[in-house]
Amino acid sequence: MQFTTFIQVPLKWVIGFTVSLAAVLEVIDGSILGVTISNMQGTFGATISEIAWVETSNTIADAIMIPLTAWLGNYFGRKTYFIFSLIGFTIASVLCSLSSNLSMLIMSRAVQGLCGGGLYTKAQAILFETFPKAELGIAQSAFGVVMSVGPAIGMILGGYLTDNLNWRCVFFINFSFGVLAVVMSWLFLPKDRDKGKQHNQVVDWSGIAFLASSLISFQIVLQEGERSDWFSSSFIIIVTVVGLSSLGLFIWREFTTKNPAVDLKVLRYRCLAAGSLYNGISSMGAFGTLFVVPIFSQRVLQFTAMQTGLLLAPGVLASAIMMVLVGRLSTKIDARLLMAGGTVGITLVMFQLASITPQTGTDDLFWLLVERAAASTLIVLPLSLAALSPLSLKDVGAGSGLFNLSRQVGGSIGIALLSSILEGREVFHKAVLVEKVSLYNLETNQRLDLLTKGLQSWGTDSVTVHQQALALINQSINIQAAVMSFADIFRIVGVVFLCSLPLLLFLTKVGKEGSA
């Protein structure tokens, strides 16, 4: 009996470590991409909008999998589905590293999203089944620490590998730990006992197809619209019609079928409707900002991938620390006040980021990103409490699924929209600057003469010196246009967050006198 007890106690924690390892792969995969995105862009000669598909394809695939995760686990068995997801995710990671062109990389990332979309939620479900209620709090805390520290380590390691080897090596991190997670899952996870439990349950494949069609269509419009001159392009018009039609059919389907993929009827709860909308808006800003900041740091400030990772990692750790504090505050302070404070904090940070220049020091940017991460934490936990706590027990599952879906959809829209705007504003600012920089302009000629004299000291012939001076002026214009474009992006995000504040009035009071 003593021997059996000795074996059983560590086994729970081995299972906890196994599912945490698998789940952190999905989390790291999303965070580590930021430090490598500029290197990928250079490899494939892609524009910002084109390289954004590497992230949005994964996010859309993840969103599509959310309604299917629970059913697949019940149909095939939780362990079987978990291991299958891990194997698919690991193979897709290898395909990402071997991608010979941008299209192959985008498709591989989409497969990663389809396979990895269920890892996080299934890991938490297995934890709930493995640990008794008395130990569940400790297990969830340990799980949370791994989820928080993992991305920070991943960013730094990803930056190191990118600088010293190649961005392709970053995906082999997933391969190495993926194989380990598969072996451990096969050895230690308990056997499926309810496999085939829901073979007779009807799956809303039509609803999922309409959802996928609308998400992909709108993503194409947002990312390709700027280059195609928006609705002057017949292609953009056709895709928009397809997206709107698919969205209409999706809404109709979910309200009329008995087994909806996404139960939209839970939107009758005002708090959930407002919370999901706010969740989507805040995710647009959060995902979009985390996509453009690494590009700015590497392109304008000339940071290496390693330096970018070191810049972003402390923000992740700040979020983990703040999560503990916010968890305590959420039981004493109205969640809406916490969210309002976080929203105002992010707005102020965005307007501060809009004032940065190529001469901005690392310390300035570092603390702004830490402040942004801390302010974001004031939104995440209180928002889920305020949006979901008023729901009845039978509606919590559907409400949680819709709430998480709004986050994924908002994130993919944010990356697509901000990358498209960034590209368009850069073209605009460059055109304005080029118009002002004329050879007939006195200041331009003075600048050109100064550069020419400086270059002549190197003993180069006059024709070459003149061409080099013009190239330096053009480079200066490009950098200035990029800085102004990123400033526009940060201002837009700040304004959007500020305008979202009224939505908090529709949320339920939770905290101090409310009940979570």
The pLDDT value given to residue 91: 92
Compare 90 and 155 and report the one with higher pLDDT.
Answer: 90
**Pure H helices in 77-170:** 78-97, 102-116, 119-130, 133-164
Taking residues 437-459, what's their average pLDDT? 60
Q: Which residue reads 């969640």 in tokens?
A: 335
Taking residues 10-29, what's their average pLDDT? 80
Is 19 within 8 Å of 145 (Cβ atoms)? Answer: no
- Write the pLDDT tens digit of every residue in 74-91: 777 778 888 888 999 899
Where do the domains of the chain lie? Answer: 1-202, 262-516
For residues 175 and 25, what is the distance between their CA atoms, to the nearest angstrom? 10
Per-residue pLDDT for 26 more than 60?
yes
The pLDDT value given to residue 516: 42
Is-same-fold flag (1-202; 262-516)? yes
Q: What angle do CA 181, 185, 187 make, to 5 degrees?
A: 120
pLDDT band, very low/low/confident/very high, at 510 (cuts 50, 70, 90): low
Per-residue pLDDT for 513 more than 50?
no
Nearest to 397 by CA among 165, 41, 70, 118: 70
* 180 alpha-carbon distance from chain centroid: 25
The pLDDT value given to residue 3: 35
Q: Which two tokens stand for residue 158?
A: 């990803």
pLDDT band, very low/low/confident/very high, at 21 (cuts 50, 70, 90): confident
Per-residue pLDDT for 145 more than 60?
yes
pLDDT band, very low/low/confident/very high, at 467 (cuts 50, 70, 90): low
Per-residue pLDDT for 511 more than 60?
no
Region class of 47: left (phi > 0), else alpha (psi between -120 and 50), else beta: beta
For residues 144 and 122, what is the distance between their CA atoms, to the nearest angstrom? 15
Taking residues 436-443, what's their average pLDDT? 61
Global pTM? Answer: 0.79
Helix (H, G, I), strand (E, B), or coil: what is residue 500? Answer: coil
Taking residues 44-64, what's their average pLDDT? 85
Taking residues 178-206, what's their average pLDDT? 75
Residue 464 has a CB neighbour count (10 Å cut-off) of 12
Helix (H, G, I), strand (E, B), or coil: what is residue 263? Answer: coil
**204 backbone dihedrals φ, ψ, rounded to 5°:** -80, 70
Cα dist. 284→277, 392, 405, 413, 417 in Å?
11, 28, 13, 6, 9
The secondary structure element, H or E, covering residue 65 is helix 48-76
Per-residue pLDDT for 4 more than 50?
no
- Write the pLDDT tens digit of every residue in 234-259: 888 898 999 899 999 988 988 888 87
Taking residues 102-131, what's their average pLDDT? 82
Which of 121-125, 277-281, 434-438 has the lowest average pLDDT? 434-438
For residues 64 and 408, what is the distance between their CA atoms, to the nearest angstrom? 9
Nearest to 140 by CA among 153, 118, 124: 124
- Write the pLDDT tens digit of every residue in 389-426: 777 777 777 777 788 888 888 888 888 888 888 888 88
Per-residue pLDDT for 198 more than 60?
no
What fold does the segment set 262-516 form as a domain? Growth Hormone; Chain: A; (1.20.1250)
- Write the pLDDT tens digit of every residue in 361-384: 677 788 888 888 888 888 877 887
The pLDDT value given to residue 458: 61
pLDDT band, very low/low/confident/very high, at 6 (cuts 50, 70, 90): very low
Residue 280 has a CB neighbour count (10 Å cut-off) of 20
- Greatest extent of the chain over all pairs of C-alpha atoms, in Å: 93
Q: The domain 1-202: what is its CATH number?
A: 1.20.1250.20
Nearest to 65 by CA among 110, 127, 20: 110
Taking residues 94-111, what's their average pLDDT? 90
Mean pLDDT of the chain: 79
Taking residues 270-283, what's their average pLDDT? 87
The pLDDT value given to residue 172: 82
Cα dist. 141→137, 146, 321, 323, 332 in Å?
6, 9, 12, 11, 20
Residue 192 has a CB neighbour count (10 Å cut-off) of 17
Percent of the chain scored above 90 by pLDDT?
5
For residues 54 and 513, what is the distance between their CA atoms, to the nearest angstrom? 45
